Amino acid sequence: MRLLSRATRRGLVAATAAGALALGLAAALPAVNAMAAAGCSVTYTVNQWQGGFTANITIKNLGDAINGWTLGFNFTDSGQKVTQGWSATYAQSGAAVTAASMSYNAALATGASASIGFNGSWTTANPNPVGFALNGVTCTGSPMPTTGGPSPSTRPSGSPSASPRPSSSPSASPSQPTGQTPVAINGQLRVCGVNLCNQYNRPIQLRGMSTHGLQWFANCYNDASLNALASDWLADLLRISMYVQEQGYETNPSGFTNQVNNLVEEATERGLYALIDFHTLTPGDPMYNLERAKTFFAAVSARHASKNNVIYEITNEPNGVSWSTIKSYAEQVIPVIRANDPDAVVIVGTRAWSSLGVSEGGNATEVINNKVNAANVMYAFHFYAASHQANYRSELERAAASLPMFVTEFGTVTYTGGGAVDQSSSTAWFDLMDRLKISYANWTYSDANEGSAAFRPGTCAGGNYAGTANLTESGNFVRNRIRTADNFPTS
């Protein structure tokens, strides 16, 4: 997103998680639920490999509302240690572990949930912990033992998100399915010709939403909002937009990496594709962030290498530079991802704020004649319907005859993010993308005080995301298009 209301942004407080990242996972064991009649419930999911594991914990408050919490539990293997954690502050004494809330997830209303996690080491075994307690209130005696999972040395054959699609009920949890998820149906994606294709080598279109900057709107991405995206909006995709500058990644690389990793896990739980956006904007030369990009993509691709639902967008909106510079950047970053995740689709931004050069007087010919030297690559196109109209649509259609295109960001309003919805131009854009099976993510799944936001200001503080009561004009318009039936061919 370019030329947003930066004066508004400067007044927002960044909220980032602490901790670090995991390396490649090798086995996914089933989640177990620890329930209590009152007080709290805990879901603990472990992914393990020889000598190490990643644990993801969802805490649900079943008692009175609280503001500030500590979750306690005990390892049952003396060799287990917390090595890195996120979304909480961890402490360990012997087998006893505590995880204390961060500022942004401290408030838990009755029925509200928080998701945290950590990386750990183990010596001879990796049983589940026992004695979960929230602020001293026991959640359960111990989780049920995990059974039937693959051995730690076995790499999973598919994504842990191969669960059925969430119910259309706004309050439905991802564990209460009625159909199939986008990831369960389509599996590992690949580029075939000019199309994005599923595991059956059939062209598909993914439709979804982009987050706003995680440094400003982290409170908009929680269980309730992501359940609404999957179950109420019936989306296929969550674009996770991590700014590099503007109070973003460069200020706290480990914290922002962990926020991205957490949201990938949340998307995976709901059977959504996760598009990791390295949101470069100013400066427009991607080479300025080359080393940061290598570090970041090495980390996230290692963490998610065993998943089949992760797509990488390696530079958001290059501007003021040549296509050859962007191509050189891509050909240095893509091998870093491929070293860990050889199968994932990678999306490369195009010149002039990912307009294929149109916004700087160019066109797609420069890309068509000089493609990135890598397989499974797509090219980004961005538009804002009130500002970018027939000539931009014509260039996208021309490019799509030769290049695999993905609209990783678009708005229904002006390129500033403000103004009224241009329904006529937006409809023309939707119709074009649907006809050409071009996947897209709308800017933005947030309550920012701007016309492009899906939710009215203050929605993320109130927590009611499902239905239309809190939607803006843009949110309602886009939701209606996303909710139309997917067409995912399987033969």
Give me the catalytic one of 317, 331, 360, 450: 317
Residue 291 is a catalytic residue = no
Please give the backbone phi and psi of residue 66, each rounded to the nearest 5 degrees, phi first.
-130, 155
Q: What is the largest CA-CA distance in the chain?
A: 66
Q: Are 477 and 423 in contact (CB under 8 A)?
A: yes
Distance CA 88, CA 370 (A): 46
Q: Are 202 and 236 in contact (CB under 8 A)?
A: no
Cis peptide, bond prior to residue 444, ω within 30 of zero: yes
Q: Are 109 and 123 in contact (CB under 8 A)?
A: no
Q: In which residue are the tokens 């209303």 written?
A: 109
Q: Are 190 and 278 in contact (CB under 8 A)?
A: no
Q: Name 91's bridge partners.
A: 98
Relative to beta strand 440-443, strand 207-210 is parallel
Q: Are 15 and 100 in contact (CB under 8 A)?
A: no
Distance CA 273, CA 239 (A): 8
Report how many helices (DSSP H) and strands (DSSP E) the chain contains, helices first. 13, 22
SS3 of 390, please?
helix
Find the DSSP H helices in 114-186: 182-186
Q: Name 43's bridge partners.
A: 33, 58
Residue 317 is a catalytic residue = yes
Tokens of 209: 């939403």
Give me the catalytic one of 246, 265, 269, 409: 409
Distance CA 205, CA 488 (A): 8
Please give the backbone phi and psi of residue 90, each rounded to the nearest 5 degrees, phi first.
-100, 145
Q: Rounded to 5 degrees, what angle do the CA atoms 272, 275, 278 make? A: 155
Distance CA 400, CA 321 (A): 22
Q: Are 263 and 235 in contact (CB under 8 A)?
A: no
Q: What is the gyration radius of the CA atoms in the chain, in angstroms?
A: 22
Catalytic sites, residue numbers = 317, 409
